[in-house]
Amino acid sequence: MWVCSTLWRVRTAARQWRRLLPASGCHGPAASSYSASAEPARVRALVYGHHGDPAKVVELKNLELAAVGGSDVHVKMLAAPINPSDINMIQGNYGLLPELPAVGGNEGVAQVVAVGSNVTGLKPGDWVIPANAGLGTWRTEAVFSEEALIQVPSDIPLQSAATLGVNPCTAYRMLMDFEQLQPGDSVIQNASNSGVGQAVIQIAAALGLRTINVVRDRPDIQKLSDRLKSLGAEHVITEEELRRPEMKNFFKDMPQPRLALNCVGGKSSTELLRQLARGGTMVTYGGMAKQPVIASVSLLIFKDLKLRGFWLSQWKKDHSPDQFKELILTLCDLIRRDQLTAPACSQVPLQDYQSALEASMKPFMSSKQILTM
């Protein structure tokens, strides 16, 4: 059942891709022009025709904009981030892969330009984000079906809107869905300076939860620690500090965490498990170290720890579109109350995508690359 649903989503993404045909026309007849001109409207997009190193396989191409059908929406992309999942998808190492060639990008915010005659939920000027992964957001304009988009309020910051649909959603669901946490409870996480990590810190603070945030040591560790604490982090420690015997004294002044959030794997995930309270849960949502999660047999037996996984695409499959919209609106409320801000960002013009892709894959890069159109 999961495989069938995933294939349906991939094929849907592929159909969205075909709404933008290569300007050369080598993949089929030219699409009808939406404009009054006889010439089809041209848009720029970052396209990859095969999997591999993003810096080598992604190209900036001119594409033709398809005609707007009755249930379609013509949008102008405003901003789109480069996320780890985008990189993995281009490399061919992700759980959902669109048919090739494909436009890169799973997240971003666009403004509605025009709508088809059967569209009732959107109007020109509205801001929208993708309803699912695989839509291809690294382009200047596009024509999508109404069901492929979700409206977001236009009174939130542009960077917050552009980075709303993946990392904050992941952070919120992991905090809410695995342990029944109460104000004063603690949560421990690694990769705490990632997009998800920064969202976890802020959402946890809004919920009254205390966070222990693990990061890799680096030359500017104090600067990073200060920035995470300004977001609401209670403690920021390095991977090396987490492994020290003195950590056993750490929980004299705060409760042991019942929830651990793992985005690294390997030794880092093992250390997170060691800090969990009896009966606690570690949720894995990434594997930056590209190493397996290693769990001590004694911890599983004597502390009855639970190992779980989380993938936002699967959560969407298991829940209705209205539930995802409700999640988005909940996060927008936090943004309006200044309890959730976008991660540290660097805005990069679309034509400078090469430098943005390279920067997004550098170690210790704390600034998310956002393509502006």
Among all residues, which ones are annotated catalytic? 94
C-alpha to C-alpha distance for 216 and 268, rounded to whole angstroms: 10
**Number of other CB atoms surrounding residue 15 within 10 Å:** 12
Is residue 115 within 8 Å of residue 122, measured between CB atoms? yes
Is residue 325 within 8 Å of residue 149, measured between CB atoms? no
Helices (H), 178-265: 195-206, 221-231, 239-242
C-alpha to C-alpha distance for 37 and 40, rounded to whole angstroms: 7
- Give helix 167-177 / helix 195-206 axis angle, nearest 10°: 50
C-alpha to C-alpha distance for 163 and 129, rounded to whole angstroms: 9
Name the residue type at position 128: V
Chain centroid to CA 315: 13
